[in-house]
Amino acid sequence: MTTPSTERGRTAAHVDLPTKYQPADVEGRLYERWVSAGYFAADPARYPDRPAYSIVIPPPNVTGSLHMGHALDHSIQDALVRRRRMQGYETVWVPGMDHAGIATQNVVERELAKEGKSRHDLGREAFVERVWAWKAESGGRILGQMRRLGDSVDWGREAFTMDEARARAVRTIFKRLFDDGLIYRAERIINWCPRCLTALSDIEVEHAEREGELVSIRYGSGEDEIVVATTRAETMLGDTAVAVHPDDERYRHMVGREIELPLTGRRIPVVADEHVDPEFGTGAVKVTPAHDPNDFEIGRRHDLPSLTIMDERGVITAHGPFEGLDRFEARPAVVAALRQQGRIVKEVRPYVHSVGHCQRCSTVVEPRVSLQWFVKVAPLAKAAGDAVREGRVKIHPPEMAARYFEWVDNMHDWCISRQLWWGHRIPVWYGPDGQTMCPGPDEEPPAGWTQDTDVLDTWFSSALWPFSTFGWPERTPDLERFYPTSVLVTGYDILFFWVARMMMFGLYAMDGVEPFKVIALHGMVRDQHGKKMSKSFGNVVDPLDWIDRYGADATRFTLLRGANPGGDVPVADEWAQGSRNFCNKLWNATRFALMNGAHVRGELPSEGLTTVDRWVLSRLQKVIAEVDGHLESFEFAKACETLYHFAWDEVCDWYVELSKVQLDDPATAESTRRVLGEVLDNLLRLLHPVVPFVTEELWTSLTGRETIVRAEWPQPDRARRDEDAEALVASLQRLVTEVRRFRADQGLKPGQRVAAALEWGESPLAAHEPGVRMLLRLDAPGEGFSATASLPVEGVTVRLDTHGAIDVAAERKRLEKDLANARKEAEQARRKLGNESFVAKAPEAVVAKTRDRLSQAEAEIARLEAQLAALPAA
């Protein structure tokens, strides 16, 4: 194994650690030193023989602040990047932000409203300037918060989806798509926000269960009567058909006929369409092509007219008594008018259904036919699907691939235009005689032509992120070196909306080369009960609050310790406290080691090591291999568990404690100092990607080197594996654990010293008597020693003198009570198992559980009887 002892520039370890770890005193100072030293900066020309490793950050909104989802996502990415950097890769992690069209425009419009103004008072150009000024002054707060979390991004590469480089990339790809016939303008149904007055993408619509009213309405009369049900009665004013399934015998005679549409004086046809579910409701549905996406498709298949019956603000425009009413005012008014005409077949009843809301303002979204710009996705989506099917891009965990295919294989054309002022303006110009042109990024439109007023969907520019951040459309050295990126880390909730679009545009723009090799999906952060975090639930946890109270390392460790691939991550305040305690444990162990001369100078001895030394070095090799395997497969939770238990349970609770005896022995002291340094050196390097700050402070103190950031990643050394030493120490651990349990059962306090005689027989553990006595707080037998208890464990007999150490009468009473309960439990289990009917008829799992109860009760009885027998006479 290559150890730091072979590296140059080593100085003696020094003890300058405070007695207590205070994250606030360490984190900010270390982060600024890392950035100033350029440890995170990448150079495509540096070390050309090194493999490249690149990640682009999912750009947070310029309006955003760090929340737990960001903290999880960034902690995962940072752990990956830090490990690869230590493994010798030329790594780059690109930071940046998304301009967040709707969200940012809303923020600035609210500021204007406080001044009694609207964006229309300023005009488009002045309003956009106002947004840029807001961005410079108040936007991007999250970038500073990323520093507090410890993100090792290359700040020299910071990108923004509206900066000039990204704007050029947007214009370039729009032009190519336009010229290839993959961008078109058409009247189609889209998601519309009546408050923001813009089209919305699917991801900008949040669905929530809401209680509405289901109304059953009779259309037509007599033989031409059909009953339909709806939760949006007002939309019937725009009905242009009723649809039934072609195989539904109930309505076959009516297909092709016209029936009367109530309240309108119009007659509409009955059409047969396979989209209709004959088992749902009456098997007949009203068709409003201009205000329902499914109805729009039915309308296209049957060449039905689309009647828009409300304006962009959701106000009814259909002539008649409802004109001028808001859609939610018109709904009860329409129902009342239908009831008056006797058209309500059933009384209105509550009906819970999913309702779409604008993500930014929570207004109920209205499906609306509108003239918009679209991307023809069919060929792009096929390429995105093929890249995964052919194995060129791997989705992790693999079971998420089915959800990806479900999306890309059934994707509808993408509405990319937004009726906003903040964003990339659509680069299409219109001539005075109705001409249309899309100039390239280096071309100017003819004089007198006017540009389209819409801007592009924010997801359009962020879909270019994996290659626009490296200089595309120019073939830059960065692009050649770092594209395709190594892995995309993101939440499964945007697998469809962002990931699929990056795949489509990356493959299209980069000549069939995928934008990333691996898609690593993680879940959502939830509270400790698995409940979604929500302000309305009162269970939102602010990561910055945790960083203030427990430190960035504890925050990261808590999140990563729960991060299973694709699974949601529960968190709780007490878990963060536990992670802080873990960092403190590392601090105290390293400080102890330094105070006792632990170091990493010179070669690690191969001969003359104690069994305990050989045991901990052997366990270290296994841990290195396990952690490597877990991190390669994005099993962060397993990696953290392995490191936690090795550090706390084995290194701190066993090796550090046993080393105290060895450090007092001149024959073993020096080798123990070297082994202690070796173990901590490797452990801190393994932990660095997860808890970077505390490991930096401890490792530099231990090794005297400049930084752990660019230290070498540990490699397992099979020659250090020692199964014999592991078996012997495991036996020692069982001995100590069993005696500790016995002491506790006898009511002895952990630190209370008692006299004991140890009879080793032929046990090899005899060589470890000083360590055993130290760990168990056992004094050597003195004058008047009289054993009151004898405990055989691991071939060793431990005889204890507990005279005066415990209240014998009280302890006997407690044990007898516990014994009575155990006997009662055993008797109940025996009676059940002795009942032939129970054994024959009860489920196998229930019978097995009863047998386990009996076995456990009998073991408890034996243990308690032995403890009672071991008590001294009263």
The binding site consists of 535
Q: How far is CA 869 from CA 325, 818, 860, in A?
A: 89, 14, 14
Token pair for residue 322?
Answer: 């409802």
Interatomic CA distance for residues 556 and 545, integer angstroms: 13
If phi > 0 it is left, if psi is from -120 to 50 it is alpha, else beta; for residue 731 that is alpha
Nearest to 233 by CA among 312, 336, 342, 340: 336
Q: For the purposes of burial, counting CB atoms within 10 Å of the CB of 415, is it exposed (0-12), middle (13-18) or buried (19 or more)?
A: buried
Nearest to 50 by CA among 626, 348, 481, 396: 481
Write b or e for each residue in 487-520: b if 16 or more Cβ atoms lie within 10 A of its Cβ, otherwise e. bbbbbbeebbbbbbbbbbbbbbbbeeebbbebbb
Using an 8 Å Cβ cutoff, are 217 and 262 in contact? yes
Binding residues for ATP: 535
| E strand or H helix that includes residue 845 | helix 844-870
Residue located via tokens 């959701």:
314
| E strand or H helix that includes residue 570 | strand 569-571
| Partners of residue 488 on adjacent β-strands | 519
Q: How many CB atoms neighbour CB 864 within 10 A? A: 21
Token pair for residue 857?
Answer: 């009760």
**Helix (H) and strand (E) counts for the chain?**
28, 29
Using an 8 Å Cβ cutoff, are 522 and 76 in contact? yes
Sign of CA dihedral 678, 679, 683, 686: positive
Interatomic CA distance for residues 283 and 313, integer angstroms: 32
DSSP letters for 421-444: SSS-B---EE-TTS-EE---TT--
Q: For the purposes of burial, counting CB atoms within 10 Å of the CB of 274, is it exposed (0-12), middle (13-18) or buried (19 or more)?
A: exposed
If phi > 0 it is left, if psi is from -120 to 50 it is alpha, else beta; for residue 256 that is left
Interatomic CA distance for residues 728 and 365, integer angstroms: 69
